[in-house]
């Protein structure tokens, strides 16, 4: 009987014993490091037959290594990746491309690995590459390209873009070109030519002879067309130049001071400012029917217009508040709103291709700054400061700005130079872009492979 | 005249008597003021982060009991306690002492022994450092045992305790470790809702048995490239960081853990 009582009491205790299950513990990770991602770019493997044939064609000893060097340099200059030293690699390129030994790559702290193979197919260059996630031990991407051997540099840029996109989530900007004004001679007698090069400074070509003054070249965001300003018999003239065909045409002669023609996002219009009747206003020109329309109508000086990527808004400069500031308005000229309120003078607003930021040049207390702000004027960030710098132009992914910087002339009139520089949105990754001559007014093209 | 002197003296006498009678009463009844106890007020929320508070109470009580036992085991006889230098001798004791001394005087050897014993007790009771050290050590051992037992309890009966979150310091340690491992993809937009939730199954040493992205379906949807990149970077961070810096106790609490990766704050700069 007692036993039964005991049993029942234990039974009831067990029934009513509060058994609580745990809620899943959640930990919020809101910070991380901004260090460049360590990755290994293994030289692309090449068989002996292909190597010798490419050596004859391209005068390059090992085209596989050359392509991987381009990839490595591109990723390094982006500031987002840290390509590891090739001397530390433990696995041979050909074996790594087949099946990487992830432990070996993990050992040298690589988080991603690029491997690949180059061979000749019907006298064409065939390049395949693979991107590996070392920590997960899996392949992230595998692509192959076949092209004419002379395009080997572009293959390197395209691989860089694909890797960049896969690892950052946004499109790359390596398979692009930069058009700029190449400058030579003393400051008072400067020869200015239109020049174009790959974004890494290779394949530099001059497009004009330097007989006429050229200014402000700008790429069409949808094609390889360029618009620029040139003085013909001391009259400003707007030109269109097709980079692919070399065909050039005059859009029109404009009176007085004409500034910075720029394409609309769809490439069908040009927007610019010129002074008619002594007052500088913003105008658009339809490239198909050449009809010019006035956008602003204000007694102040309105210049430097730039369309938003959706084409609905225009950012521009105006001194209507007394000082030169940045304003935005609708594309029909309505709803004008001032967005820059900081100290100093603001100029050359350029809308980011991503649409979220506007880059500008700022002059304050005798110093020039390149900065960015949100489209409502908030979050102003000055990225770089110098004696003289201006004309920022966005990379097609809206991550990097290219601009030019001049150095001071000394008492003897020497020491002047103008160089192209790039800086990314973090403001830390600032680099000089090497050009054979001095350079100014750069403009970044859209991706060539699009 | 005589009459008035008599009345005055009677009154004086009465006053003296009353005073004499009342003063001791006053003296005997002092105002009993309780000592001031300072109390720090702490706001206690419904659910605190203090782990195993009920258990801690039990442990403390156990340790106290053990200490009591230890003291009683080694406590000197009551007799000796009476002749503590601090204590004020009562008149009766004095008499006894005198008697003892008288007795002792008759037997000098006995006196010596007695005095010796008393002094030894005094030493042992009050000043023997070894004894105190031993006490401390023992209590330490006991508390360690108690803690060990409590750990055993944690493993077995952990479900009966209220708190299931990590303490702030535990959470901070884990966060700090992952912050170091997570390379944020800087190309991500800051104005999009990108939150990656990863559920982890952990071993007691903090190494990861299984990691699972909770919104896995979103990874392969078109137009979710940014989400995929963020999710992959979060997975890399977890892999790079393992074994994770998890608490040394309470495995049941954190064997399943969810990490929410949100880079907006960093990307917004």
DSSP-assigned letter for residue B77: P
Distance CA B261, CA B235 (A): 10
Do B254 and B182 belong together in one domain?
Answer: yes
Nearest Cα neighbor of A339 from A355, A352, A328 is: A328
User: For A224-238, B62-76, B133-147, which range has the lowest pLDDT when averaged over its residues?
Assistant: B133-147
Do B174 and B100 belong together in one domain?
Answer: no
Choose the closest CB to A22 out of B191, B226, B253: B253
With CA atoms as reference, the chain A residue closest to B260 would be A28
A447: Cβ contacts below 8 Å, ≥ 6 apart = A161, A171, A172, A173, A175, A176, A396
Q: Name chain A contacts of B234, Cβ cutoff 8 Å.
A: 29
In a domain, B73, yes or no: no
Q: What pTM, to 2 d.p., does this model score?
A: 0.71
pLDDT attached to residue A44? 92
Q: Which of B65, B99, B127 finishes a domain? A: B127
Domain membership of residue B101 as a residue range: 80-127
CATH number at residue B228: 3.30.1150
What is the value of ipTM here, to two decimals?
0.74
How many domains does chain B divide into? 2
In a domain, B121, yes or no: yes
pLDDT attached to residue A257? 64
A interface mutation test: which of B187, B208, B253, B258 has the most A CBs within 10 A?
B187
Q: Which of B101, B127, B153 finishes a domain? A: B127
In a domain, B263, yes or no: yes
Q: Which of B95, B127, B159 finishes a domain? A: B127
Has domain A177-444 been given CATH number 3.30.9.10? no
In a domain, B186, yes or no: yes
B41 Cα to chain A: minimum distance (Å): 30
A236 Cα to chain B: minimum distance (Å): 40
> Please, what sign has the CA dihedral across residues B122, B125, B130, B132?
negative
Show the tokens assigned to B95. 């008499």
Choose the closest CB to A32 out of B183, B199, B252: B183
Do B111 and B201 belong together in one domain?
Answer: no
Q: Domain-by-domain residue ranges, chain A?
A: 37-168, 177-444
In a domain, B251, yes or no: yes
In a domain, B62, yes or no: no
CA angle B200, B202, B208 (to 5 degrees): 75
Do B183 and B261 belong together in one domain?
Answer: yes
Per-residue pLDDT of chain A (450 residues; tens, 9 = 90+): 556 677 666 655 655 554 445 578 888 898 888 888 999 999 999 988 888 888 888 888 888 999 999 999 999 999 889 999 999 898 888 888 888 999 999 999 899 999 999 998 888 899 999 999 999 889 999 999 999 999 999 999 999 999 999 998 888 999 999 999 999 888 778 899 999 999 999 999 998 888 888 889 999 988 888 999 888 777 788 889 998 888 888 887 776 666 778 999 999 999 988 887 778 889 999 988 888 898 998 888 899 999 999 999 999 999 998 889 999 999 998 999 999 998 899 999 999 999 989 999 999 999 999 999 999 999 899 999 999 999 999 999 999 999 999 988 777 767 788 999 999 988 888 999 999 999 999 999 999 876
Choose the closest CB to B187 out of A19, A34, A168: A168
In a domain, B118, yes or no: yes
CATH (residue range A37-168): 3.40.50.10070
In a domain, B90, yes or no: yes
Backbone angles phi, psi at A33, to 5 degrees: -100, 155
- Which value, in Å, is the radius of gyration of the alpha carbons in chain B? 37
Composition of chain B by helix, strand, coil, percent to 5: 60, 10, 30
């Amino acid at each position: 009987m007692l036993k039964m009582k005991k049993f029942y009491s234990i039974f009831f205790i067990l029934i009513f014993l509060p058994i609580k299950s745990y809620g899943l513990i959640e930990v919020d990770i809101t910070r991380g490091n901004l260090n460049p991602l360590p990755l290994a770019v293994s030289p692309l493997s090449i068989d002996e037959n292909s190597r010798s044939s490419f050596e004859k064609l391209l005068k390059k000893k090992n085209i596989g290594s050359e392509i991987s060097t381009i990839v490595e340099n591109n990723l390094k200059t982006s500031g987002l990746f840290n390509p590891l030293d090739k001397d530390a690699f433990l696995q041979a390129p050909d074996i790594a491309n087949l099946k990487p030994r992830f432990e070996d790559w993990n050992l040298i702290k690589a988080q991603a690995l690029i491997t690949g193979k180059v061979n000749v197919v019907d006298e064409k260059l065939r390049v395949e590459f693979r991107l590996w996630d070392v920590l997960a031990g899996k392949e992230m991407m595998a692509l192959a390209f076949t092209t004419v051997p002379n395009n080997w540099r572009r293959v390197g840029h395209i691989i860089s873009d694909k890797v960049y996109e896969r690892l950052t989530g946004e499109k790359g900007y390596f398979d692009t070109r930069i058009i700029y004004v190449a400058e030579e001679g003393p400051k008072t007698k400067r020869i200015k030519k239109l020049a174009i090069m790959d974004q890494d400074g290779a394949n530099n070509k001059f497009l004009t002879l330097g007989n006429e003054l050229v200014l402000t070249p700008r790429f069409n965001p949808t094609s390889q067309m360029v618009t620029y300003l040139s003085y013909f018999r001391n009259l400003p003239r707007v030109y269109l130049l097709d980079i692919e065909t070399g065909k050039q045409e005059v859009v029109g002669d404009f009176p007085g001071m004409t500034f910075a023609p720029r394409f609309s996002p769809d490439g069908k219009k040009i927007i610019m400012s010129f002074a008619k009747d002594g007052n500088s206003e913003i105008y658009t020109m339809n490239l198909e029917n050449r009809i010019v329309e006035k956008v602003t109508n204000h007694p102040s000086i309105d210049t430097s217009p730039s369309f938003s990527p959706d084409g609905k808004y225009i950012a521009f400069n105006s001194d209507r508040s007394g000082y030169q500031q940045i304003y935005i308005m609708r594309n029909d000229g309505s709803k004008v709103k001032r967005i820059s309120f900081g100290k100093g003078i603001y100029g050359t607003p350029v809308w980011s291709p991503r649409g979220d930021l506007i880059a500008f040049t700022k002059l304050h207390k005798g110093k020039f700054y390149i900065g960015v702000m949100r489209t409502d004027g908030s979050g102003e960030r000055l990225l770089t400061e110098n004696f003289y710098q201006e004309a920022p132009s966005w990379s097609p992914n809206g991550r990097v700005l290219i601009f030019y910087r001049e150095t001071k002339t000394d008492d003897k009139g020497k020491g002047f130079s103008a160089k192209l520089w790039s800086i990314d949105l973090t403001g830390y990754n600032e680099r000089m872009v090497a050009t054979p001559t001095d350079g100014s007014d750069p403009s970044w093209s859209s991706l060539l492979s699009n | 005249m005589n009459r008035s002197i008599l009345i005055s003296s009677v009154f004086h006498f009465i006053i003296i008597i009353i005073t004499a009678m009342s003063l001791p009463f006053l003296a005997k009844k002092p105002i009993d003021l309780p000592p001031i106890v300072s109390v720090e007020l702490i706001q206690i929320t419904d659910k605190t982060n203090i782990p195993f508070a009920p258990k801690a109470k039990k442990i403390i009580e156990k340790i106290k009991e053990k200490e009591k036992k230890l003291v009683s085991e080694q406590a000197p006889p009551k007799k000796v306690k009476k002749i503590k230098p601090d204590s004020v001798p009562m008149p009766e004791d004095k008499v006894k002492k005198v008697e003892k001394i008288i007795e002792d005087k008759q037997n000098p050897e006995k006196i010596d022994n007695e005095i010796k014993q008393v002094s030894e007790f005094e030493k042992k009771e009050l000043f023997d450092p070894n004894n105190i050290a031993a006490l401390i050590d023992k209590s330490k051992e006991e508390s360690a045992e108690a803690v060990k037992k409590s750990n055993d309890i944690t493993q077995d009966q952990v479900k009966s305790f209220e708190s299931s979150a990590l303490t702030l310091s535990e959470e901070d340690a884990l966060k700090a470790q992952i912050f170091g491992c997570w390379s944020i993809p800087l190309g991500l937009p800051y104005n999009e809702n990108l939150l990656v939730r990863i559920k982890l199954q952990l071993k007691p040493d903090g190494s990861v048995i299984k990691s699972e992205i909770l919104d896995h379906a979103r990874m392969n949807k078109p137009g979710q490239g940014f989400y995929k990149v963020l999710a992959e970077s979060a997975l890399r961070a977890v892999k790079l960081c393992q074994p994770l810096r998890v608490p040394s106790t309470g495995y049941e609490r954190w064997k399943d853990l969810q990490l929410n990766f949100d880079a907006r704050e960093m990307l917004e700069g």
